[in-house]
């Protein structure tokens, strides 16, 4: 499977997905740690992809997303943003409703 097809499949199959360095339990960088903790705090299940174990995705996703850095949070197939945006949305109370709505829609 082509890398771009793999990315599109991951986005289609997971309403909430975080592309990050490491895992939510064992993040490999401070930005990924902050971002994953913010998503965990929303209280919903989410998928993640460790880009350190997937160099093909690490290389291709920034081109596809037109976003150069990681982590990247995607909700319902749309790029939400990176660590700064995730943290800002979390602090302003915008992240939790977005995550909850995506989780609810998936459950229906």
CA separation for the pair 78, 32 (Å, rounded)? 19
Count of structural domains within the chain: 1
Q: What is the DSSP letter of 92?
A: T
Residues of the chain with pLDDT below 70 are none
Q: Does 58 appear as a known binding residue? A: yes
CA distances from 58 to 42, 44, 54, 55, 63 (A): 26, 25, 6, 5, 10
31 marked ligand binding residue: no
Q: What is the CATH number of the domain that holds 40?
A: 3.40.30.10
In this prediction, residue 101 carries a pLDDT of 96
How high is the pLDDT of residue 105? 87
Q: Is 29 annotated as a binding residue?
A: yes
Q: Are 86 and 71 in contact (CB under 8 A)?
A: yes
Q: Is 56 annotated as a binding residue?
A: no
Question: For residue 41, what are its two tokens?
Answer: 């705090």
- Annotated binding-site residue? 83: yes
Task: State the residue for tokens 């991951």.
Answer: 10
How many angstroms separate the CA atoms of 2 and 79, rounded? Answer: 20
**Model pLDDT, residue 30:** 97
Q: Beta partners for 73? A: 18, 81
pLDDT of residue 106: 78
pLDDT the model gives residue 107: 76
Domain with 85, as residue range(s), is: 3-107
């Amino acid at each position: 499977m082509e890398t771009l097809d793999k990315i599109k499949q991951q986005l289609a199959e997971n309403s909430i997905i975080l592309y990050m360095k490491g895992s939510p339990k064992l993040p490999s960088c401070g930005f990924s740690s902050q971002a994953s903790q913010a998503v965990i705090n929303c209280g919903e299940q989410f998928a993640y992809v460790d880009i350190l174990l997937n160099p093909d995705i690490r290389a291709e996703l920034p081109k596809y997303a037109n976003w150069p850095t990681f982590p990247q949070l995607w909700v319902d197939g749309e790029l939400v943003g990176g660590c700064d945006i995730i943290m800002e949305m979390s602090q302003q109370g915008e992240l939790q409703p977005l995550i909850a709505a995506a989780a609810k829609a998936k459950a229906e």
